[in-house]
Structure 1
Amino acid sequence: MRHATPVRIEDVAREAGVARSTAALALKGSPRLRQETVASVRAAAGRLGYVYDRLAARLRSGRSGAIGLVVCEITNPFYAELTAGVQAALESSGLVAFLANTEESRERQQLMLERFREQRVDGVLLVPAAGTRPALLDTVARWGMPCVTVVRGFRAGAHAGTDHRAGSAMATRHLIGLGHRHIAYLGAAADSSTSRQRLAGYALAMREAGLAARHLPCLSDIGEAASIVAGLPRSGPTALVCFNDTVAFGATVGLARAGRAVGRDVAVTGFDDVRAAAQWHPALTTIRAGAAAIGDAAARLLLERIADPATPTRRVIVAPELVIRSSCGAA
């Protein structure tokens, strides 16, 4: 071994030929330094076997250098894209995100938030689990932990998301414009603001057109959606507005099982526009919610609140966009 005693940051600075303060900034990933300098210092640290003492740095600065990201459904590709947006926004700040998945369990959500509190993360991005009440935000605020809700939210508090109601109404009006009169809504079985708002948007568009709404509750599960749709009578509905792309994928599978053509016999729309939507067969007509853009906006809102917890709360809404493809029969 090259060193019988622990390698110090002074040793790294000497090896890299820089000042101690420069070495410290480089090992923290400071955006103030040139990338070449950061790479040189980290290479020197690697040669010497130096391990950055983040605990000591946290005690000195009062910051952990990390945030918590709590999502409700990690298997949903939308949340993978949202996470990528969060990480991209955090890179320039030198922070990292610790990811937790609640699987729609409020008990697990509470546990994860408590663990993040114990780790003294600098803040939390929260996609509330189904059934979460606004009082949770008051609890987190009492802990002194900055928080931004993402996708799902409440009337109060910093938030980043999309206009779920407008997006769902947009998809429904598109189907009505294609001549459909028997349009059902598939999904929205979970108790969340997203479910309520998307269902409300569909109902609004149907009511405006003087049409009867029909709700087919379904979880965001391809298998469950496929089973429900495969059992629908051939007499109708002729179109399905789906809660999200996962449900829409299941709807197309169910129609195929029943020997019915998507887009010709039954039109299908989704919501989110995950990357697989364009490659699905047939390609999925959907509402683009901008997962990465929402993640980026949420991270930037949280960085604002970490820098100044007294800053007024802001809400960033990424406008939804209708993306027309083959599954509705109009492309």
Structure 2
Amino acid sequence: MNGRQRAVTLNSVAVEAGVSRATASLVLRNSPLVSLDTRERVIAAMDKLGYIYNRGAANLRGQRTGTIGLVLCDIGSPFYSQLMLGIDEIIVEASIVAILVNSAENPERQIRQIRRLREHGVDGLIICPAVGTSEELLSEIATLRIPCVQVLRHVSQTGGDYVGPDYAEGTSLAVRHLVRHGRKRIAFLGGRARHSAARERLDGFRRTLGKYKLEHDLIIPTDLGNLSDFGTLPKLMSSSNPPDAAICYNDMVAQSLMGHLLSAGIMPGRDFGVIGADNLPQSATSFPPLTTIVTDPVGVGRNAARLLLDRIENSSPSSTRILVSGQLMVRQSCGGDAR
């Protein structure tokens, strides 16, 4: 054999288990026609002999690869880790594997990655569009004939399937909570309106403050990649009419802001209300514990995966929109109870 081991065949497995080759094949396909006892014998034989199922060849016969592409814009973010957990919960049950690629917020890199995924024969895509992505992306993906679900951000108000949090409602809940507890000068800290998720947050912020006839232009852009960037907030805080609360783009910005406030002798919750977004696990253990808008990335991931699997099975074009309802997790950083 010149040091090379002969591959174990399905016939060998069938002989070892004392069943026919056809029965062994049914076990591989998870057929309900096989009894539990027989299934266990076949699996034990596979383990004993070291049989490796050639899933690639089987998928080729079925004209599927059993893979999907997951195109994210920042794979280093803990928020996207939560999203991937939700996706994985669903696809693992369907015996599907995700191939993860990072667009790094670059539309040109993004389309190159999508084309490479197509070359690998993925059965579908879940994509969080990079900043600056145009609506033409949907046309390009349609040309490649790949089912696709946009997640967290969308490039069209009406085109294509989309699953994401109800950003506007979540931000509105945060504003209403702060107003009920006496805050009147509320700022929005972090990010710029360069994609749908940011625009929807700001829409909810402006609309809700407008209903209360409060100032709604305290919007402070920052670099989300630099958590020490607080924009013009320090200058506003030293003015004669400073803000008394801030809704932050996400929990990481909010936690950084609380550290900044504490270093200046300002107690979050007591002296200044702080609300984040995403409800990351560490938000409950920050000091003080952070009030946050629950965007439920795990739930978004589950819904996106289910929708994509449905599109793979039923390829008719559609534009389904699924919004995961926003909630507010009230803790000590905003200075008010759950009322």
| TM-score of the aligned structures, taking structure 2 as reference length | 0.88
Verify the 8 A CA contact 2:222 2:231 in the aligned structure 1.
no
Change (3 A) 1:256 1:85: same
1:315 aligns with 2:321: yes
Which has the higher Rg, Structure 1 or Structure 2? 2
Which one of 220, 239, 244 corresponds to residue 250 of structure 2? 244
Among 276, 288, 305, the alignment partner of 2:311 is 305
For structure 1, which segment, 223-232 or 283-292, has the greater mean C-alpha deviation from structure 2 after superposition?
A: 223-232
Aligned equivalent of 1:219: 223
More displaced 10-residue stretch of structure 1: 298-307 or 2-11: 2-11
Aligned partners of 1:130 and 1:40: how far apart in 2?
53
Secondary structure at the residue paired with 2:227? Answer: helix
User: Following the alignment from structure 1 to structure 2, what is the Cα–Cα distance between the partners of residues 263 and 299?
Assistant: 38
Distance 1:274 1:36 in 2: 44
Give the match for residue 264 of structure 2. 258
Q: Which amino acid is the alignment partner of residue 10 of structure 1?
A: N
The change in CA–CA distance for 1:19 and 1:329 in structure 2 (over 3 A counts) is farther
Structure 2 unaligned spans of 5+: none
* Distance in 2, Cα, partners of 1:283 & 1:34: 53
- Give the corresponding residue for 1:148: 149
Of 182, 206, 209, 1:206 maps to 209
Structure 1: tracts of 5 or more residues without a match: none
CA contact (8 A) 1:226 1:254 kept: no
Asked if structure 2 preserves the Cα contact closer than 8 Å seen for 1:151 and 1:194, the reply is yes
Deviation at 1:82, TM superposition (A): 1.1
Question: 1:92-115 deviations in whole A, cap 9, x for unaligned?
Answer: 211121222222122221222112
Q: Say which SS state the counterpart of residue 122 (structure 1) adopts.
A: coil
Matched to 2:258, the amino acid is T
Higher alpha-carbon deviation: 85-94 or 211-220: 211-220
> Displacement, 1:25?
5.4
User: Per-residue CA shift, 1:118-174, capped at 9, x if unaligned?
Assistant: 110110111111111121011111111100001111321111112111111211121
One-letter identity of the residue aligned with 1:66: T
SS of residue matched to 1:224: coil
Alpha-carbon distance between aligned partners in 2 of 1:38 and 1:104, rounded to the nearest angstrom = 47
In the alignment, is the contact (CA less than 8 A) between 2:163 and 2:300 conserved in 1?
A: yes
TM-score, normalised to structure 1, is 0.90
Instruction: Give the counterpart letter for 1:20 in structure 2.
Output: R
SS of the residue corresponding to residue 152 of structure 1 reads coil
Contact 1:123 1:306 in 2 (8 A): yes
Q: Give 1:303 deviation, angstroms.
A: 0.6
SS at match of 1:92: helix
Counterpart Cα distance in 1 of 2:228 and 2:11: 60
Farther off after superposition, 139-148 or 234-243: 234-243
Partners of 1:6 and 1:13 in 2: CA distance: 15
The 8 Å contact of residues 221 and 231 in structure 2, kept in 1 or not, is answered as no
1:176 aligns with 2:182: no
SS of 1:75's equivalent in the other structure is: coil
Q: 1:219-271: CA deviations, max 9, x gaps?
A: 33462346865665344211001111121112112212222111112111111
Q: Which moved more, 1:300-309 or 1:232-241?
A: 232-241
Mapped to 2, the partners of 1:89 and 1:41 lie a distance apart of 27
Task: Please list the CA deviations of residues 164-207 of structure 1 after superposition, one character each: whole Å capped at 9, or x if unmatched.
Answer: 11111211121122111111111122611001110111111122
